[in-house]
């Protein structure tokens, strides 16, 4: 009887913050740990860098598509079972990456790995299940602040593992961490949402309620365009580090984590000040910092004064701005229609990652033999400016509605 009570309690108790951090961190780590290995993976599969670079863009594209359906499924079936199934499928996909016989097979397995996005989407939705808008922004900030440590050190670890054991070691590490996360989630992640009881078709019919909201679009695009600068960086920075500045995988992995350092600080500021200043101000200032960092880096490049230190150093401002903008914009998007938090989390994430996939692929196409980092920085600056415009639409709309 006691054992049954313990199991029932586990399935009903809300998850601890450490579990939410690990879930979000695994999803982030799967995105970037192997990036310093891309040049060596290109040699291993005897293909072109641009083909291997698609492992980022395709991963993000499938992430975006999955997020469209994850929200409604989780609103219907609950957060817990969807996360558990997603993690189990992620483990299988990771094994497929390890044993892929060709570049094409690896890319297919990499696309399947994107199922781990359930961890990020539903960890955020669980926070919104438990807290109101401003407190949710604060809690999401703390969750993603802790999560930021993982991608900050991930590329450095990935580059080191690549030099010592080869690129396969990165995916064995993901497999081990995925297994630990699955076990901890089973034990600790109790259900946080009341099941909607609606069919999936009925759930999808509620999309227009979100898609016709200017505020939802403003928050989602502010998050999407601000993070778009980072996703473009993901697509182009490995080329800049290895081809333009001649870095080894381990050194590039250390430099590559610069945005995550800023992201950690930005999420700390979100956790500390979102309740005091409100989500809109935090998003606005985050988007400004994002654009300022990229703009200064571009000016140095055009004036011939750029170096590896300045290129990667100014990326900390991209991370800082994203750490302030994304948690607050996410909380805002989830709060436009609180009863559709799971659906809103998935849809806003799909908008963000869909744009990220396109920008990552475009960044890879812009860089080639003899190019500088200027095309990449120009692309990043354009998306950062669009993010500022998006949050200004929200602020104006809320003034019209008497909410601001």
Question: Length of the chain, please?
Answer: 404
The answer to whether the CB of 171 falls within 8 A of the CB of 116 is no
Model confidence pLDDT, tens digit, residues 12-70? 577 777 788 888 888 878 887 888 888 888 888 988 877 887 888 888 888 878 877 87
Most confident of 74-78, 222-226, 354-358, 367-371: 222-226
pLDDT at residue 10 greater than cutoff 50: no
Hey, CA dihedral for 297, 145, 363, 106, is it positive or negative? positive
Interatomic CA distance for residues 199 and 396, integer angstroms? 36
Q: Which of 144-148, 181-185, 232-236, 304-308 has the lowest mean pLDDT?
A: 144-148
**Quick one: which of 309, 315, 289, 320 has its CA closest to 377?**
315
pLDDT of 7: 42
**Quick one: which of 53, 27, 50 has its CA closest to 114?**
27
Is residue 1 a part of any domain in this protein? no
Q: Which domain holds residue 125?
A: 9-400
Most confident of 143-147, 250-254, 323-327: 323-327
Q: Which of 299-303, 352-356, 359-363, 378-382 has the lowest mean pLDDT?
A: 352-356
Question: Which phi and psi (to 5°) does residue 252 adopt?
Answer: -60, -35
CATH code for the domain in which residue 386 is found: 1.20.1250.20
pLDDT of 92: 96
How many domains does the chain contain in total?
A: 1
Is residue 253 a part of any domain in this protein? yes
Which tokens belong to 291? 């654009």
Is residue 190 a part of any domain in this protein? yes
Which tokens belong to 359? 């920008």
Beta strands in 136-218 (DSSP E): none
Is residue 326 a part of any domain in this protein? yes
Q: Which of 50-54, 311-315, 319-323, 375-379 has the lowest mean pLDDT?
A: 50-54
pLDDT at residue 362 greater than cutoff 90: no
Is residue 3 a part of any domain in this protein? no
Residue whose tokens read 């396969």 = 168
The answer to whether the CB of 235 falls within 8 A of the CB of 360 is yes
| CB proximity list for 27: less than 8 A, separation 6 or greater | 116, 117, 119, 120
Is residue 73 a part of any domain in this protein? yes
Model confidence pLDDT, tens digit, residues 122-166? 877 777 666 665 666 666 666 666 555 666 677 778 888 988 898
Which tokens belong to 378? 């120009």
The CA-based dihedral angle spanning residues 327, 386, 54, 242, taken in that order and rounded to the nearest 10 degrees: -90
Interatomic CA distance for residues 54 and 362, integer angstroms? 10
Q: What is the mean pLDDT of residues 267-285?
A: 86
pLDDT at residue 261 greater than cutoff 80: yes
pLDDT at residue 3 greater than cutoff 60: no
Identify the burial level of 143 via C-beta atoms within 10 angstroms of its C-beta, where 0-12 means exposed, 13-18 middle and 19 or more buried: buried
């Amino acid at each position: 009887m006691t054992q049954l009570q313990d199991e029932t309690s586990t399935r009903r108790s809300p998850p601890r913050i450490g579990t939410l951090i690990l879930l979000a961190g695994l999803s982030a780590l799967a995105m970037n740990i192997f990036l310093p290995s891309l040049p060596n993976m290109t040699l291993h599969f005897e293909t072109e860098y641009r083909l291997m670079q698609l492992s980022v863009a395709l991963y993000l594209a499938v992430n975006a598509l999955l997020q469209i359906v994850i929200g409604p499924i989780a609103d219907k079936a609950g957060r817990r079972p969807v996360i558990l199934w997603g993690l189990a499928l992620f483990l299988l996909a990771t094994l497929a990456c390890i044993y892929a016989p060709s570049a094409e097979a690896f890319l297919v397995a990499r696309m399947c790995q994107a199922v781990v996005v359930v961890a990020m989407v539903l960890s955020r939705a669980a926070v919104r299940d438990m807290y109101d808008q401003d407190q949710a922004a604060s809690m999401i900030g703390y969750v993603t602040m802790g999560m930021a440590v993982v991608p900050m050190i991930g590329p450095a670890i990935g580059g080191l593992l690549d030099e010592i054991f080869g690129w396969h070691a990165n995916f064995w590490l993901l497999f081990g961490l995925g297994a630990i996360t699955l076990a901890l989630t089973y034990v600790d992640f109790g259900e946080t949402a009341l099941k909607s009881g609606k069919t999936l078709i009925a759930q999808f019919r509620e999309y227009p309620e979100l898609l016709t909201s200017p505020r939802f679009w403003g928050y989602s695009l502010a998050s999407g365009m601000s993070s778009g600068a980072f996703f473009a960086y993901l697509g182009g920075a490995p080329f800049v580090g290895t081809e333009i500045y001649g870095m080894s995988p381990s050194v590039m992995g250390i430099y590559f984590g610069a945005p995550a350092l800023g992201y950690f600080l930005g999420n700390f500021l979100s956790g500390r000040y979102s309740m005091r200043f409100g989500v809109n101000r935090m998003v606005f200032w985050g988007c400004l910092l994002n654009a300022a960092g990229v703009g200064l880096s571009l000016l140095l490049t055009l004036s011939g004064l750029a170096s590896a230190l300045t290129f990667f150093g100014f990326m900390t401002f991209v991370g800082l701005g994203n750490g302030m903008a994304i948690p607050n914009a996410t909380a805002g998007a989830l709060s436009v229609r609180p009863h559709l938090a799971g659906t809103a989390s998935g849809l806003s994430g799909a908008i963000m990652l869909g744009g990220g996939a396109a920008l990552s692929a475009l960044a890879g196409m812009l860089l080639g033999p003899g190019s500088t980092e200027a095309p990449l920085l120009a692309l990043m600056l354009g998306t950062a400016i669009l993010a500022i415009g998006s949050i200004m639409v929200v602020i104006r709309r809320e003034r019209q509605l008497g909410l601001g």
